[in-house]
Structure 1
Amino acid sequence: MAAIESFISAINGVVWGPMMLVLILGVGLFLSIGLKLMPILRIGTGFRLLWGGRTASAGDEKEGEIPPFQALMTAMSATVGTGNIAGVATAIFLGGPGALFWMWITALIGMATKYSEAVLAVKYRETDEKGQHVGGPMYYIKNGLGKKWAWMGVAFAIFGAAAGFGIGNTVQSNSVADVLHANFSIPTWISGLVMMILVGAVILGGIKRIGHVAGALVPFMALSYLIAGLIVLAINAHLLPQALDLIFTHAFSPVAAQGGFAGAAVWAAIRFGVARGVFSNEAGLGSAPIAHAAAQTNDPVRQGMIAMLGTFLDTLVICTITGLVIVSSGAWTGGESGAALTSQAFATALPGLGNYLVAIALAIFAFTTIIGWSFYGERCVEFLFGIKAITPYRILWILAIPLGATLSLDFVWLVADTLNAMMAIPNLVALALLSPVVFKLTREYFNRN
C-alpha cells in the first residue's frame, strides 16, 4: 500500500505542478478576456434566466430531459460537497489564510470556464439509443474538434469514469462516515450502508429522478448552511477585519508557523487555493457540462449563463462563508485539518451546537454529490461502451460507497486530487481550441437580445 501511495503521490506532484495551475488559470483568463468579462458583468442576467428556467418553455420540452434549473441543481449537487467544508479547511491548513484569496481568483475566472463548458455541451450534444440527450467534453471534443482529436475525448471519458469513484463517491462517503463517527459515534460501516441504500434508491431512477431530488434538496441545504455560517460570522463580526487582513496579506507573503500551524510559503497558498477551488466548483474539470447537456433548452448561451452561477454560488458564496468562519475563529492555527477544522471553527462560536451543524451539513452535501457524480460517471461509460454499460456501472457505484466509508482518508483524497487533474487536461485543451465557437455564439446571442 505504501508503494502505491508513493507512486500516486509522484503522479500528483507532476499533474498538479506549475503547468497545471498555469493551464487552469490561463485558459480561464483567456476565456474571460475573450468574453469581455461577460460572465461577471452579466451575472444578474444569469439569475433571471435561472428563475425563468424552473420549468421548460413549451418550445423546449422535447430538447432535453430536465428543466434548466434542475440541470444547474444537478451540477451543483455534485459540486456542493465535502470541498465546501473539508476542502476549504484543508486548503487553509496547508496553504494558510491566503489560500482563500486564490480560491476566489479561481472562481472569478472559473465562471468563464464553466460558461464555455455548458455552451459547448449544449451545442455539440447528441441523442442516445434511449432518446436522451448526452453531452460533455467527450462529445464536444468528438463533434467539435474532429477525428484527429477523438483520442482526447476517450481519455477524458476514461478519467471521468474513474475519477467519479474518487471525487464523487469514496471521498464523500469517507468524509460523512468520519464526521458522523466523530460527532455521533455512529460506526463507519453503518454510515456506509445507509448511504448505499439511499443513493441506490435515487440513481436507479435515472436523470429525471436525480434532477427532482437535486432540485428540492440542493437549495434547502445550501441556504441552511449559509444561514448557520452567517450567524457565526455575526458572532465573530469584530474579528472579520483581522481575518480579511490575514487572507489578503498571506496571499502574497509567507505565513510563519504558529500554534499547530506548520507555516506555508506563497506557493502553497496558490497551489492549494487553486487545487481546492477547482475541487470545490469543478470549473475546468468538464464534469458540470455533462449535466447541463440534459437541460431542456434550444439555446447554448442561455444554459451557459445559468451554468456559470454554479461557480459563483459554490465558491464565492458557500466556500467564502466556510473560509471566513475558519480564519476569524483562529481555529486554523490549532493543528486540525479537513472537516474537523471546520467543525472546531463553528463550535468556537456556537459551543455544543456548531460541530453538529457541520456534521449534518457535510452528510447532506456529500449525499447529493454522490448522486450527481453517479450521473457523470455513467455518461462517461456510455460514451465508451454504450448504454449497456450503465446498469453495471450503477451497481459498482452503489457497492463502492460502503467501501469508501472505511478507507484511509488521506489516500482517498490523494487519488481524487490526482484524477481531477487528469480529467481537466483534455477538457482545458478542448476549451482553448473551441473558444472561437464560444465567442461566436455569445456575440450572436447578444446581438439578437
Structure 2
Amino acid sequence: MDIIEQIKNGLDFLNGYLGGADYFPYLLIGVGVFFTLYLGFPQIRYFGQAVRTVRGKYSKKSDPGDTSHFGALSTALSGTVGTGNIGGVALAIFVGGPAAIFWMWVTAFLGMTTKFVEVTLSHKYREVTEDGTMAGGPMYYMEKKLNMKWLAVIFAIATIISSFGTGNMPQINNIAQVMNDTFALPNWITGVGLAILLAMVIIGGIKRIAKVAERVVPFMALLYVVGALLVIVYNYENIIPSFGAIIGSVFSGSAAVGGFLGASFAYAMQRGVNRGLFSNEAGQGSAAIAHSAAKGKEPASEGMVSLLEPFIDTLIICTLTALVILSSGVWKDKHQNTFDRIDMDFIVGEWTDQNTEHVEKLRDFLNPQTKSDSGIKRYSGSISLQDGEAISDGFTLLNANSVAEDVVYKQQDETTNKLVPITGVITVSDGKLENSAIVVEGRSLIHSASLTAEAFTRGFLGENGKYIVSLGLLLFAFTTAIAWSYYGDRAVIYLFGQRGVLVYRVVYVVMFAVAAVVDTTVVWALANVAIVMMTIPNLVGITLLHKDMKQTVKQYWEDFRKGKAH
C-alpha cells in the first residue's frame, strides 16, 4: 500500500466518525428543521425582502462595512458555486444514484434557514480589525456571546484547514483535470498559471475580491445555465423520467441500472446531504464570514440576503447539473477512460453486473458499512498478460464502483517513452497493483467533473459542450478559491492577528499550485473531513443562540416598520 492510499484510508477512517457517520445527516437536517419551524419558515416568508435588499433598496453609503449587499452575496456565492455544482453533483449521483439529488434539495431548502441564522449572528457580533476592515464569522459570536473561546478556536482552526480542503485543493484539482481532458494541457501548467492569478487577486483583500466576484459570478452563472439548458432541452423526453428517478427512489434507494450497481436509502441520503453541504455550505459557517463584511446596521437584513445562496447554488444550478447528467443517461453508462489507482480494486472470483445476485454482493462490497458482509475478498496474486489483455482468470477488476470492461494494461517503453501494451506477468497485492507505474485503460463508470463534461456532450453542442464545463469549472472553481482565501485569512486574524495573514496567503497560493497534480480521490477525502470540522461547532453554536436569533429578527421587523431598518 503506497503513501497516497494510506492517507486516503486514514481520511476515510476519520470521516467515518464525522460526515460519513450515521448521525451527521440527521444533525444537519435536524438543525435546519428546528430553525425553520422556530422562525416560521423564513426561507419562504422573507424571500421577497431578501431580493429587495440585495438590489440595494434599503442601502445607505454611510453604513459601516466594506462591501455592498450584492458584493457580499457575490463573494459568498463565488465561495459556494464551484466544484460542488459540477463535480460534486456528479459524485453524488455516481455514489448514491438519482435519490441523492432529493436529499441535496432537502439540504438546500432547510439550509436557506440555517444560513440565514449563521449569517445574522455573525454580522451581529463582527469586529473592526487592525487595518480598519471588518472581521466576522461564527468564531466571534462563539467567543463574545457564548463565552466559549475554546469552541471559537476549534472553529477558526477548522476554517483554515477547510480553506485548503474545501476551497483550495479540490477546486484547482478539478480545473486541472478538466483542462487536461479537454485541451490536453498538463496539470502543472494549469496549477502554476492560476496560482499566479490567485495571488494577484487575494493580495487586495475583500474589496478587490468582491469587485472580481461581482463581475464574474453573474457571467459564469448565465453561461453555465444556458449550456445546461441546451443539453436538457435536447433530451427533453427524459426530463420527466429523470424527476421520476429522483423522487421514486427516495425511500427505497436507487436500483441498479446499466453499469451502476445501485445504492441503499441510507447511502443515498448520506451522500446527498454531504454533497449538498459541500455545494451550498449552509451550516458550515463559511459564507457568514463574507457577509460579515457587508455594509449595514441590521444583522437580520444581511441574513435575509444570504438565504438566497442555497436557492441559487443548489435548487437552481445543482438541479440543472443533475438534469443534464440524468437526462443524458451518461451516469449509468461505461466510458473509455484511464483508471485512477485508488479507484481500482481487484477482487477474487469472476463477477458480472448482469447477474442480480452478483450485483447485490458487489454493492455491499462497495459500501463501507456492509463491505465485511459481502463475502467478497480482495485479490492477491499474479496476472498473465498478452498484448495488454489478461489471459489468466480467477479475478475481477472493479473501477469507479463498476465492473471494468475491455481492460488493457500498459507501461512506458524506455526507448520511445510511449505507452505500450504489456506482455508478461504483473502482481497484485491486497487488491492493488504492486507496480504503480502500470497504466490501466478500459471502460467503466466515471465520476466528478469528468462525468459532467461527458454529459454536456450529449446536447445541441455535441462534443463542443465539454468546453462549457471546462470554462464554467475554471470560473466557478477559481472564484471559489478566491473567496475561501478570505475566509481563511479572517480565521488567521482571529487566531494570530494581522501578522499571520501574509504567511497564510503565501502557503495558500503554493498549495493551490501543488494540488493540481495531487490524486483526485485524496483531495475529495480531505474535503469531506475538513467541511465537517467546521460544521459541527457551528451547528452547536447557532442552536445555543436560538433565542438571541429570534429576538434579533423581531427587532429588525420592529425597526423596519418604523422606517429605521435598512
Whether these two folds match at TM > 0.5 is yes
- Contact (CA 8 Å) 2:280, 2:309: kept in 1 or not? yes
- Contact (CA 8 Å) 2:213, 2:479: kept in 1 or not? yes
What's the counterpart of residue 352 of structure 1?
463
Specify the code of the residue in structure 1 equivalent to 2:488.
G
- Contact (CA 8 Å) 2:7, 2:522: kept in 1 or not? no
* Residue in structure 2 matching 1:13, options 11, 16, 30: 16
Counterpart CA distance in 2 for 1:210 and 1:66 is: 10
Counterpart CA distance in 1 for 2:24 and 2:17 is: 8
Summarize the Cα distance change of 1:248–1:94 in structure 2 as closer, same or farther, 3 Å threshold: same
What's the counterpart of residue 90 of structure 1?
91
Per the TM alignment, residue 447 of structure 1 is displaced from its structure 2 partner at its CA by 3.3
What's the counterpart of residue 80 of structure 1?
81
Per the TM alignment, residue 345 of structure 1 is displaced from its structure 2 partner at its CA by 1.1
Specify the code of the residue in structure 2 equivalent to 1:325.
V
Counterpart CA distance in 2 for 1:109 and 1:256 is: 27
- Contact (CA 8 Å) 2:8, 2:521: kept in 1 or not? no
Summarize the Cα distance change of 1:205–1:56 in structure 2 as closer, same or farther, 3 Å threshold: farther
Moved over 4 A (4+): none
Per the TM alignment, residue 256 of structure 1 is displaced from its structure 2 partner at its CA by 2.5
Counterpart CA distance in 2 for 1:44 and 1:344 is: 37
Specify the code of the residue in structure 1 equivalent to 2:458.
T
What's the counterpart of residue 451 of structure 2?
341
What's the counterpart of residue 48 of structure 2?
44
What's the counterpart of residue 291 of structure 1?
290
Specify the code of the residue in structure 1 equivalent to 2:301.
R
Specify the code of the residue in structure 1 equivalent to 2:311.
F
Question: How many aligned residue pairs are there?
Answer: 444
Q: Which moved more, 1:229-238 or 1:416-425?
A: 229-238
Counterpart CA distance in 1 for 2:235 and 2:7 is: 44
Per the TM alignment, residue 52 of structure 1 is displaced from its structure 2 partner at its CA by 1.3
* Residue in structure 2 matching 1:406, options 514, 517, 520: 517
Show CA shifts across 1:142-161 (max 9, x none): 11101xx2101000000110
Q: Percent identity between the aligned chains?
A: 43
Counterpart CA distance in 2 for 1:258 and 1:390 is: 50
CA RMSD across the alignment: 1.1
What's the counterpart of residue 26 of structure 1?
30
Q: Which has the higher contact order (CA 8 A, sep 6+)?
A: 1
Per the TM alignment, residue 258 of structure 1 is displaced from its structure 2 partner at its CA by 2.2
Counterpart CA distance in 2 for 1:167 and 1:268 is: 22
Give TM-score, length-normalised by structure 2: 0.77
Per the TM alignment, residue 18 of structure 1 is displaced from its structure 2 partner at its CA by 1.7
Specify the code of the residue in structure 2 equivalent to 1:342.
T
- Contact (CA 8 Å) 2:173, 2:516: kept in 1 or not? yes
Show CA shifts across 1:99-135 (max 9, x none): 1111000000000000011100111011111121110
Q: Which moved more, 1:124-133 or 1:73-82?
A: 124-133
Specify the code of the residue in structure 2 equivalent to 1:368.
T
Unpaired stretches in structure 1, ≥5 consecutive residues: none
What is the DSSP-based 3-state SS (H/G/I as helix, E as strand, rest coil) of the residue aligned with 2:103? helix
Per the TM alignment, residue 56 of structure 1 is displaced from its structure 2 partner at its CA by 4.7
What's the counterpart of residue 417 of structure 1?
528
Counterpart CA distance in 2 for 1:447 and 1:382 is: 35
Does 1:133 find its partner at 2:244? Answer: no
Per the TM alignment, residue 235 of structure 1 is displaced from its structure 2 partner at its CA by 1.6
Counterpart CA distance in 2 for 1:378 and 1:362 is: 24
Unpaired stretches in structure 2, ≥5 consecutive residues: 334-444, 562-566
Does 1:251 find its partner at 2:240? Answer: no
Give TM-score, length-normalised by structure 1: 0.97
Structure having the higher helix fraction is 1
Specify the code of the residue in structure 1 equivalent to 2:49.
T
Specify the code of the residue in structure 2 equivalent to 1:139.
Y
Show CA shifts across 1:255-278 (max 9, x none): 232222121111111001000000
Per the TM alignment, residue 4 of structure 1 is displaced from its structure 2 partner at its CA by 2.6
Larger Rg over CA atoms: 2
- Contact (CA 8 Å) 2:67, 2:295: kept in 1 or not? yes
Q: For 1:201-350, what aligned pairs fall within 5 Å after superposition? A: 201-334=200-333, 335-349=445-459, 350=461
Per the TM alignment, residue 254 of structure 1 is displaced from its structure 2 partner at its CA by 2.3
Does 1:363 find its partner at 2:362? Answer: no
Counterpart CA distance in 2 for 1:327 and 1:268 is: 19
Structure having the higher strand fraction is 2
